[in-house]
Amino acid sequence: MHPRHILQLVGSPTDAFHCELSQMYAVGCANALSGIALYRFSYAHMSPDGAWCFPESLSLHDRQTAQKYETVEALAIIASMGVDCGLPQLFCLRGMTECRAIFRILDIPFIGNNPLQMDLSADKVLARNIVSASGVRVPQGEVITKALCLSGHRSTVSYPVVVKPVGSDNSHGVSLVTDPAQLGNAIADAHFYHEQVLIEKYIELGREVRCGIVQRDEGLVCLPLEEYAVDADKRPIRLHSDKLVRDRDELLELPAAALDLTWIVDQEDPVTQIVHSAALKCYAALGCRHYGLFDFRVDPSGVPWFLEAGLYCSFSPRSVIVKMCEAHGISLENYFAESVQLAIDGG
């Protein structure tokens, strides 16, 4: 049997940060899976300047020296490549939606959620409204626009509050506000990343956990929870620096595992079934397919509150869903093989 041709869609049409983030995860996936004889990997890389290339590998040299193409030319090349399955590795909003839709346009099966679901989950207000309608608890919240802020509008949400951009990821522009005098600056910081800002009631700790759900032959499987190191006094919420940092060479790095800021929760822990139940409702409400990630704040009485959804998996060993799968006894190789087959079968 010929190896299946897997096309990784890498880069970002938006900015250098998301290009680098995509590169980091895609390289991890390539390093982990490229040696498997079942697959032949190729790469379509897009840059913020609109240029496309098809490098032999994801090395800087190969990306810089590869011939550049306009979008129309690039789509024609992809259509002619004989791709069996696409793997989108894009994390900016345009990448998660319109670029992911390229696979739909070219009738190429691909792993992961559809563009509509990516769009819904990226909008924190839409996502919380949708899961709330399905019976999942969400913190009290209010949306503030720049116009409202300039008019002197005062938030109706009682303090303390968490201020976050409606459409930003990796905790960019997120802050905890305990004093009304701090609110203006927090809103301004969040507005740098998005026109709309969500002000949410701070949920007392508790715990903060993430639940992964994967689709398998036997149906949906809730994976072991990942818990975050949060502390009511020292680390009340997770900030951008808890998720991404720069190493000595100024390259993006994930600090959580290295600093023991996350761990897998024992499946006998009572919180597991409670969060699994809420996450399954989120998965169904958002119309997910293949997999989904859902963050919850668990208050001191054990009640989970939905924070956000992250509907992506890079198939890098450092990807959260991959780590959860391994804790459940599913190797990266097996999970990827199942995901490829699921996509090709139209699941």
Q: What Rg do the C-alpha atoms of the chain give, in angstroms?
A: 20
**Contact between residue 196 and residue 167 where contact means Cβ atoms under 8 Å apart:** yes
Q: What is the pLDDT of residue 152?
A: 63
CATH architecture, domain defined by 141-201 = 2-Layer Sandwich (3.30)
Distance of alpha carbon 285 from alpha carbon 293, whole angstroms: 13
Q: Domain map of the chain by residue range?
A: 4-111, 119-136+204-311, 141-201
Q: What is the pLDDT of residue 170?
A: 59
Question: pLDDT tens string for the chain (347 positions)?
Answer: 689 999 999 999 999 999 999 999 999 999 999 889 999 999 999 999 999 999 999 999 999 999 999 999 999 999 999 999 999 999 999 999 999 999 999 999 999 999 999 999 999 999 999 999 999 999 999 998 766 665 566 778 899 999 999 877 656 789 899 988 888 888 888 888 888 999 999 999 889 999 999 999 889 999 999 999 887 777 777 654 554 444 544 454 565 554 568 899 999 999 999 999 999 999 999 999 999 999 999 999 999 999 999 998 999 998 999 999 999 999 999 999 999 999 999 86
| Nearest Cα residue to 271 out of 240, 294, 303, 241 | 303
| Nearest Cα residue to 204 out of 88, 302, 87 | 302
Q: What is the pLDDT of residue 26?
A: 96
- Tell me the one-letter amino acid at 97: T
Topology of domain 119-136+204-311 in CATH is: D-amino Acid Aminotransferase; Chain A, domain 1 (3.30.470)
- Greatest Cα pair distance in the chain: 67
Task: Tell me the C-alpha to C-alpha distance, in Å, between residue 97 and each of 12, 69, 165.
Answer: 12, 21, 19
Tokens 């689709």, residue? 215
Q: What is the pLDDT of residue 316?
A: 94
Distance of alpha carbon 224 from alpha carbon 273, whole angstroms: 10
DSSP label of 92: S
Q: Is 235 helix (H, G, I), strand (E, B) or coil?
A: strand
**Contact between residue 294 and residue 137 where contact means Cβ atoms under 8 Å apart:** no
SS3 of 277-335: HHHHHHHHHHCCCCEEEEEEEECCCCCEEEEEEECCCCCCCCCHHHHHHHHCCCCHHHH
Query: 209 - beta bridge partners?
Result: 227, 296
- Candidate CATH numbers 3.40.50.20, 1.10.10.10, 3.90.10.10, 3.40.50.300; the one for domain 4-111: 3.40.50.20
Q: Provide the pairing of β-strand 226-228 with 207-216.
A: antiparallel
Q: What is the pLDDT of residue 246?
A: 45
Ramachandran area for residue 50 (φ above 0: left; ψ -120 to 50: alpha; else beta):
left
* Percent of the chain that is helix, strand, coil (3-state, to 5): 35, 25, 40
Q: What is the pLDDT of residue 248?
A: 47
- C-alpha angle 8-50-104 in degrees, rounded to nearest 5: 45
